[in-house]
Structure 1
Amino acid sequence: MLFRNLDLLFSNPTAFFILIASLAAALVVAITIHEFSHALAARTLGDTTAERLGRLSLNPARHLDPAGTLLLLVAGFGWGKPVPVDPRLMRGNPRTSMSLVSLAGPASNILTAVVLGSLFRFAVLPEPNGSAAVFGRDPLSMVAYVVSLAVLFSVILAVFNMIPLWPLDGFKVLLGILPEEQAQSLAKVQMHGPLILMGVVFADIALGLGILNTILGPPIDILISAFMG
C-alpha cells in the first residue's frame, strides 16, 4: 500500500506524510476496535485475563502489533496484538465460548464499517477523494478520506482474520463449530498455521503472486460497496 505511493516521498514529501498520517489514523481505529472487542467478549463471558493485563482498553498502544501493523501498511493485510484469553474461565462450553470471543473481533470491524460507511451512504460526508485530501489539504476531504480508509481497513481486518489458519480468528471459530472429533484433529495441525500464513503472505509480496488479493479481494470489494454505497 505504501510502496505504491513511495514516489510521493521524493516528489511531494508533505503529501507523503499526510498520506502516512491518514493511513495510521485509520489503522489505529480498525485494530483497536478489533482487539478491544475480543477482550470485551471474553470479559462478558467471565474471563478477566485480558482485563487484568490491560487489554480491555481503547488505548491503541495496548493493541498494535508492530509486524502486523507494518504489514497492513505495506501489503494491505495484517493483524493486531493477540488478546490473551482462557476458555476454561468462560461460562458455557469452552470451545463455543472461545469461538464467540474470536468472532467478536471481525464482527466489530464489520459493525464499524457499517456505521462509518453510512456517513457516505447518507451524504453526511462527501465522497472520499484521496487527491483532494493529500494534495488539496481540504479539512472535510481529509476527514472523509480517513473515514473511508477506516472502513477499508476494518473490512480487510474482518475478512483476513476469518482465514481458517492459526492464529487467525477464523481458525478458532472453526474449532468451535466443528464436531469435537474433527476439531481435535484440526487442533493438531495448528502449530503449522503461522508458518503457512507467513509463507503465503511473504511469497505473495515478494513474488507478486496476487494470491491473497485474488481470494480476499472480491469479498472485500463487495462489502465496501455495500457499506459505502
Structure 2
Amino acid sequence: MWALTIHEFAHGYVAYRLGDITPKLHGRLTLNPIAHIDPIGFIALLMVHFGWAKPVPVNPLFFRKIKNRRLGMLLVALAGPAANFISALLFLILLKILTPAPIPPSIKLPLEIFLTWGTFINIGFGIFNLLPIPPLDGYHILEYFLPVETLIKIKRYEPYGMLILIAIIILPPFTSMFVSVINGISLAMAKLVGINLF
C-alpha cells in the first residue's frame, strides 16, 4: 500500500504547492492509505496482486504559482513516479544499514524481506505509471510535449485507455519484459547504493 499511497500523495502535494487546494479539500494530502483506497482497485490488489488507488483530483485553473499550466500538470504527473523511485532508493539505503546491524534474525529477516519487496514494488509501480497510455501518468507527461493539434486528435482515444492497459497486462511478452525492466533498474539502484539484492 505504501507505493500507492506515496504515489497519490506526491501528486496532490505538488498540485497543492502550485496553488491548487483541490487535493486538500478532498482530504488527499495525507499518508493515510485509507484516504487513497479505491475499493475495486484494492480488491484487485488482494486477488491478482495488481491494483490502483483513487486518482487525486487536480484543477490546473488554480495553479497560481506557475504561469504555464501545462508545465504544472507535467510536474504533477512526474511527482507520482518520482516518489516511487525515491521510496525504492530509501528502502535500499535502509536495507544497507540493516544488513550489518546486530539485530536478532527473527526481526531482521522480516524487515529485509519487506524492504526488498518494497524496492521492487515501488520501482514496478513507478515504471508502469510511466507508460504513455491514459489514464496513467506517462500519458499526461506525453501531453506536455505534443502539439495542441495532435493532442486534440488523440483525446478521442482516451476512453479506450483502460481496455488497452488490460490487453497489454495479460500478454505474456509484456509481463516478461516488464519484470526484466524492474529487475534491471532494481539491480542498478542497488549497485549505486552498494548492496546486493540477490
Shorter-chain TM-score category?
Answer: 0.7 to 0.9
For 1:115 and 1:125, the matched residues in 2 are separated by: 12
Aligned to 2:175: 213
Q: Which structure 2 residues correspond to residues 33-182 of structure 1 after superposition, within 5 A?
A: 33-90=6-63, 91-120=66-95, 123-126=96-99, 138-182=106-150
What's the CA shift string for 1:80-99, capped at 9, x where partnerless? 21111112212322222112
TM-score norm. by structure 2 comes to 0.84
Q: Does 1:185 align with 2:185?
A: no
Q: Note closer, same or farther for the CA distance 1:180–1:166 as it changes in structure 2 (3 Å cut).
A: same
Q: Normalization by structure 1: what TM-score?
A: 0.74
Q: Any stretches of 5+ residues in structure 1 without a counterpart?
A: 1-27, 128-136
1:77–1:156: 8 Å Cα contact kept in structure 2?
A: no
Cα distance change, pair 98–51 in 1 and its aligned pair in 2 (3 A): same
Aligned length: 185
Unaligned runs of 5+ in 2: 192-198
Residues 91-143 of structure 1 deviation map (CA, whole Å, 9 limit, x = unaligned):
322222112101100011001111111233xx31239xxxxxxxxx8111101
1 CA distance for matches of 2:187 and 2:50?
Answer: 19
What RMSD, in angstroms, separates the aligned Cα atoms of the two structures? 2.0
The corresponding residue for 1:12 is none
Contact between 1:72 and 1:79, CA under 8 Å: does it hold in 2? yes
Distance 1:41 1:110 in 2: 16
In the aligned structure 2, how far is the partner of 1:44 from the partner of 1:169?
A: 19
Q: Would the aligned equivalents of 2:87 and 2:122 in 1 still touch at CA under 8 Å?
A: yes
8 Å contact from structure 1 (residues 99, 177) kept in 2: no
Deviations 1:45-69 (A, max 9, x none): 1111011110011111011223334
